[in-house]
A and B are shown apart, each in its own frame.
Chain A
Amino acid sequence: MELQAVLMAAGGGSRMMDLTYNTPKPLLPVGNKPLIWYPLNLLERVGFEEVIVITTKEVQKALSTDQRMKTDVKMRLDVVCIQEDADMGTADALRHIQQKIKTDILVVSCDLITDVALHEVVDLFRAHNATLSMLMSKVHEFTETVPGQKGKKKAGEQRDFVGVDVTGKRLLFMANEADLDEGLVLRKSIMRKHPRMLIKTGLLDAHLYCLKRSVVDFLVHNKSVTSIRGELVPYLVRKQFSKSLNSKTATEDTERNQKQQDADHNLELLSTSKDEALVQLARERSCWNDHRGDMSEAYHGGKLRCYVHIMEEGMCYRVNTLAAYIEANRVVPKLFEEPPIHPTAAVSERSLVGSDSIIGPFCQISDKTSIKRSNVGTSSIIKEKVKITNSIIMNGVTIEEGCNIQGSVICNNAVIGRGADMKYCLVGSGQRIEPETERTNEVIVGSDQLMEI
């Protein structure tokens, strides 16, 4: 077997707590399907037959009881539960399932919605015998108004600096603004080997990684690494250019460096294959080189290689903020071939449902309602004379007569009283809005969700 898929679905959605305090992030409905369906669909379309899903007990229960998931997803899901409060990072999770991993792995995050041709990422991994191959995409500006956002969007968001070589495929440098104190520091060894480097900042990391099996074994030995994206990937990218083990000067280092070297030692030894001599012979006899202009052989003789595929066009969203959630809901219905109005929904004759809206199963839409550019979730009840524009209504919501909802997000099981006027609001799970209220640009959540100061 070539690759095993691992889906990380245990994250908390810490950047959109308003949405996720009651519903776990993997089960958030996007386009009337749970968020976790999208990466699973991607893996299934490409040809995977089984996936290891790392998640919490709540999500596991929901997955096993959801009928639609069972019919839609034909792959075998091997669900591994971890404690919610264990605060495990993604690398810790990989360490947890180390026994199940027998080949190279493809790690996907549950909040990834994309239509990328996955073979582009995996081909880089295969052809160059790479240790890491990842997917990145150009960031799309979000155009929709986000409820509850006061003032302009913070421009000082932590940027990622990604350095690639001339071909745009080899990953040379990766750092987050948060880790840099004053400026960007580039090692001379990198510049000597790759004199032309392109540094890009407007890239979104899709959190899709192809990792060699030896990396998992390395993680087992180095328990200090907790997060794949935060620690492991920058470490691997740096390691491409550190001195190889054969250099004799490494012997006089201190204790700390010795431990570091042991770690390095592990990674290098683990990544050499059995028939290294033949591979070396083939490479020697081949008249190919990945760079021009200096005297070194292909790949500069390095054993570790990291590659990245940067998507120029196509859809790639990571649903980890409210803005991304709203954007994804807007874009995702175009992916489906299903009819926008579910056959089991009871839509009355005298209501107006726009062509860019989707209605979930078992909904009841009453007379004289108008729904434009919105997503209405499962089992929602919309009464008469309601106007819904540009909004996201989740599952089990009841909206009484005469409401006007614009640009808002209404979470599961909320009730909006009659005649309410909500503009750009976010109504949390299970909340009740009194009739005849007018709210603009507010986040309405329960008092138990407010943080203690």
Chain B
Amino acid sequence: MADSVGRQVDSINHATEEDEKKQEIIRAKGEGKELTKEEKQRLRKEKKQHKKNKKDDRGPPEKEKEKASVPAPSKPATQSPAHKAPVPVNASASESPVAAEKPAKSKAELRADRRARQDSERASKPGKKEVGQQSTSSKPKATPSELQPVVKRLPEHVQVDDPAALKKLAKKLERQQVPLRSDYGYKVSLFSHLHQYSRKNPPTQQISIPVTAIHPSIVRLGLQYSQGIIAGSNARSVALLHAFKQVIQDYSTPPNEELSRDLVNKLSPYISFLSQCRPLSASMGNAIKYIKKEISNIPNQCKEEEAKRRLQECIDSYINEKIILASQAISKYAIEKISDGDVILVYGCSSLVNHILCEAFEKQRKFRVIVVDSRPRLEGREALRRLVKKGIRCTYVLISALSYILPEVSKVFLGAHALLANGYVMSRVGTSQIALVAKAYNVPVLVCCETYKFCERVQTDSFVSNELDDPDDLIVTRNGKTHLENWQTVKSLGLLNLVYDVTPPDFVDLVITDLGMIPCTSVPVVLRVKNVDQ
């Protein structure tokens, strides 16, 4: 009887405990984070007590609870009424057992049920406690470090307007002896979370000549990236791997270190430097992941020369498989889609699309090409040169004339910078425009992309993660007059030079990869298969 009463009191106290906790959480959030440590300690103590109370059904639970609550830190005001609450409850509960003696058997059954319930709760308590609390308290996370991070850490390059992230980056770069490149000019507010560098302030301004902290071939590569001498996803990856080959060649393991761990550490400042010169592309990211994995997989007893040779071979085979052979496979598939009499529209200069068209021309397909180009990069001129040199009949327009020539077009071939996990295509700015207009005219859009550019990121708009190029590129001099010369003096004027945009999968009819021709929505499947392979 006393037990049942005790149980009832127990359950009431449970309820009050949870209410208490809710109130505490609410209070903790209201009063700032300085007090949460003590709160956490107390919460932990109380949880322990809670568990103990569940364990010994007999015994004076109220007294223990009061003992636990007595050494609590001074949170007098709201605590005391909560503590006072169980006391009168207890008092009243102790009076009620006299009346509640009658339905003893059902009470026993109830008790058994309750015990079973508490056992199951106790079993799932440690894992679910926080989540449960979270869901019960309908407010966002309360105690920070105890909870699992719900959101993955954002990469640094999309957090430029957060001073804490900037400070962290500055500290990391200082530790790695890599110069920090400062942003330039006024940034349009929608994109103020991205870096914007100027070509007039090269990243080599602050490093010494001759460079000591960074390998010379990496410095050369960074300069070539920042000046645009090496541009285009494939070219950047190949150049990166070439530079890594030279780094590995010149590397020598320090004493008491292992190549597999030390070489990876040596590569980190180089990668930071390259990302300061120009944000890394998705293909470069995948290549770096591959290299790091290969390096860590070198067995310890492998001699240095042998290890270096193995790594060089790995790099060569990666380039061969993922880039050269992949482009040959893609051309084979794509050529099936090109029929005689086709009018093919291409945008900008994609090395893969150019390769496909040149191969198709060699295989005696009869088609003509319309090259669409856009400022400020005007990369289409280079594509035009390569196609015309081969002998293909070409037309050249700017993107503003797109809807004018689209009625003539039978197919659109687009290159991609990366394919995202939700099927969106990230490519040069203007591509989504082309896909949209082509869709409106019912012209099929085919995207050609190697599988090593598939990326696990998910993006539905072009704002969240993009790249801002030098705004001075937009300035043009016509008839000796440069109107935008002093654009910085006009406070309300911002020049925006975006590099990438994302195209939704509804506008893309087919993606041609080295694994075959797949619809846009099958990208996550490919990624999953790739991960399983690795």
Contact = CB atoms under 8 A, between A and B. Distances in A.
28 contacts: A1-B216, A2-B209, A4-B210, A46-B209, A47-B212, A48-B208, A103-B210, A118-B209, A126-B204, A127-B227, A128-B229, A278-B239, A278-B242, A281-B238, A281-B319, A281-B323, A283-B235, A285-B232, A285-B235, A285-B351, A287-B231, A287-B235, A287-B349, A287-B382, A288-B228, A288-B230, A292-B381, A295-B388
Contact of B235 (A48, A123, A286): A286
Determine chain B's interface SS by DSSP, over half rule: helix
Q: How large is the interface on B (under 10, 10 to 19, 20 to 34, 35 or more residues)?
A: 35 or more
B385 A289 contact: yes
Contacts of A47: 207-210, 212
Contacts of A286: 229-232, 235, 239, 351
Interface stretch (B19-27, B161-169, B217-225, B361-369): B217-225
A46 B208 CA distance: 6
Contacts of A119: 202, 204-205, 209
A273 to B, nearest CB: 9
A122 interface: yes
A292 B242 CA distance: 27
A4 B210 CA distance: 8
Contacts of B239: 278-279, 282, 286
Given A3-B209, A127-B227, A127-B229, A279 B242 contact: yes
Contacts of B205: 117, 119
Interface of B: 202, 204-205, 207-212, 216, 219-220, 223-224, 227-232, 234-235, 238-239, 241-242, 245-246, 319, 323-324, 348-349, 351, 379, 381-383, 385, 388-389
B311 to A, nearest CB: 14
A275 interface: yes
Interface in A99-119: 103, 106, 117-119
B282 to A, nearest CB: 16
A279 B228 CA distance: 15
Contact of B379 (A3, A117, A279, A287): A287
Contacts of A1: 210, 216
Interface of A: 1-4, 46-48, 103, 106, 117-119, 122-123, 126-129, 275, 278-279, 281-289, 292, 295
Given A117-B205, A285-B232, A2 B349 contact: no
A2 B209 CA distance: 8
Across the A-B interface, give the 9 residue pairs with the lowest CB-CB distance, nearest first.
A47-B208, A287-B349, A2-B210, A286-B235, A285-B235, A2-B216, A285-B351, A282-B239, A278-B242
Contacts of B383: 287
A285 B238 contact: yes
- Max count, chain A CB within 10 A of own CB: residue among B208, B319, B324, B388: B208
Nearest to A290: B229
Contacts of B379: 287
Contacts of A292: 381
Nearest to B230: A286
A295 B383 CA distance: 11
A2 B235 contact: no
Nearest to B202: A123
